Amino acid sequence: MKKGIFQLILILSLACLCVGGFFLGKYVLQLPFRASNDALHKDGAPFTLDSLIPGGDYVDEKATIGDVIRIKLKNTGSPFDKFLRTVSDQIPPRYRCLGDVLLFFFWTLCFLTFMRVVTFMGYGRALRISLLFGGIVYYFMPDLSPGLGDDIVFLLFPVLIILIRFYLVRRSRDNKKIFGKK
């Protein structure tokens, strides 16, 4: 009973922290950019908003911090990402999808090999964990298909497998309890 109440308090405090962080972030993003940056410079703060100013764009008095961040993110991109986008536009869509699948399975195979060699866990559990880790690495690594569509698919596929496995094990345990089997 005490353990359940303690866990409930932890979950509620984490939820309150997340909601408070969301509203604080929303408030900060709606502050005027130039007035906030000038106030930080005047106070001699160690962190100013100068790094957010996009090169070649004028920031007027009415622009908020959120607007400046959106402009900065829209204009920037690493040279590798720009090069990869130009190359991936030349590749036919079927081969891009095949390359993405092979890249996902490459990362999955790397993690599967690591799990089996280092941890000695079973093939099923190692495969599920390596699929999840492969999806996470694929999400953050540059790939042949720009956009979030393929990244989300390769991330949700292992999560779906893990949830189905969790459901089947739970249902099997419940059936054993109902029928009195051990």
Q: Which amino acid is at 34?
A: R
C-beta of residue 73 within 8 angstroms of C-beta of residue 99:
no
Compute the residue count for the chain. 182
Question: Can you give the residue ranges of every domain in the chain?
Answer: 32-76, 93-179
Q: Give buried/exposed letters for 1-27 (b at 16+ CB in 10 A, else e).
A: eeeeeeeeeeeeeeeeeeeeeeeeeee
- Give pLDDT tens digits for 14-30: 899 999 999 998 998 89
Does an H or E element contain 146, and which?
none
Q: Residue 32 in 3-state DSSP?
A: strand
CA distance 68 to 65: 5
Give the residues across from 64 on adjacent strands: 32
Query: What does the pLDDT average to over 142-152?
Result: 81
- Quick one: pLDDT band at residue 145, thresholds 50, 70, 90? confident
pLDDT of residue 21: 92
**Closest to 49 in 3D by CA, of 12, 5, 91, 63:** 63
Query: What does the pLDDT average to over 125-137?
Result: 93
C-beta of residue 143 within 8 angstroms of C-beta of residue 100:
yes
Give yes or no for residue 155 having a pLDDT over 80.
yes
Give yes or no for residue 37 having a pLDDT over 90.
no
CA distance 106 to 100: 10
Taking the model in full, what pTM does it have?
A: 0.56
**Closest to 131 in 3D by CA, of 170, 93, 163, 105:** 105
C-beta of residue 104 within 8 angstroms of C-beta of residue 143:
no
Inter-CA distances, 145 with 50, 80, 116, 140, 155, Å: 33, 14, 30, 13, 15
- Give pLDDT tens digits for 83-120: 777 777 888 888 988 988 999 999 999 999 998 888 88
